Amino acid sequence: MIWAWIAGAVAVLIFAVAQSKIKICLSFVHMEQNDEIRIDVRSLFGLIRFRYIVPLLRFRGWLEGLELKSEKTNPNKANIQGEPRRKIDFDKIKKAIDDLRILLHNCFKFNQWFRRLLSRFHCTELNWKTSAGIGDAAETGVVVGTLWGLKTSLLGYIFRTVRLETKPELQVMPIFNQNVFITEGIIRLHIRLWHLVAAALQLLLRILKVKGGLRAWKKVLLRT
């Protein structure tokens, strides 16, 4: 009898873990010389927490590329793992594109798998504010209209698959007689753990369907 109770408790625990949500909070801000991107991840009812911060993001020109500094933190242990500053130049971008092509080529219908995975995500908060001005009032109006169009097009494309469970709060405000660009936002998403595990297994099966697919993925990921 006691074994039946133990088995029942284990089954309930496995079901609860599988149904638990992985919560993701992405926030970003660009304000003059202040830039920050922060990603917070929580899982297993808050027992597992992870934070990734990019406190420095600078565009150094087309030749030098993008300079960034990142930090990984574990809120449970209150420790910070700083990483050295890195530069993302044209060569690194080209290499990343080439690696991506290899991965896509060695996976059976990757786009189909990716769209299905995105459909499992739920968005519970979306707030994106932007202020812009380039001095001239008429030109500022054109810039503001263009930003509205870019925002609505981008989010419209994303939310064809991701489930939106809240009303987005979008703002694009003109600032006249100034040359300024400020943007900040926050996005909250969640996905069930069992959906993520199932997606990982499905991805592995799709890779195995392609001859040499697993070898190609290992080569690219280990090199990265």
pLDDT at 70: 63
Which domain covers residue 46, as residue numbers? 22-88
pTM for the whole structure: 0.77
Any domain includes 30: yes
Any domain includes 221: no
Split into its structural domains, the chain has a count of: 1
Any domain includes 8: no
SS (H, E, C) the chain: CHHHHHHHHHHHHHHHHHHCEEEEEEEEEEECCEEEEEEEEEECCCCEEEEEEEEEEEECCCCCCEEEEEEEEECCCCEEEECCCEEECHHHHHHHHHHHHHHHHCCCCHHHHHHHHHCCCEEEEEEEEEEEEECCHHHHHHHHHHHHHHHHHHHHHHCCCCEECCCCEEEEEECCCCEEEEEEEEEEEEEEHHHHHHHHHHHHHHHHCCCCHHHHHHHHHHHC
Any domain includes 77: yes
Any domain includes 66: yes
Any domain includes 143: no
pLDDT at 102: 92
| pLDDT tens column, 17-48 | 667 788 999 998 887 777 788 889 888 777 77
pLDDT at 122: 93
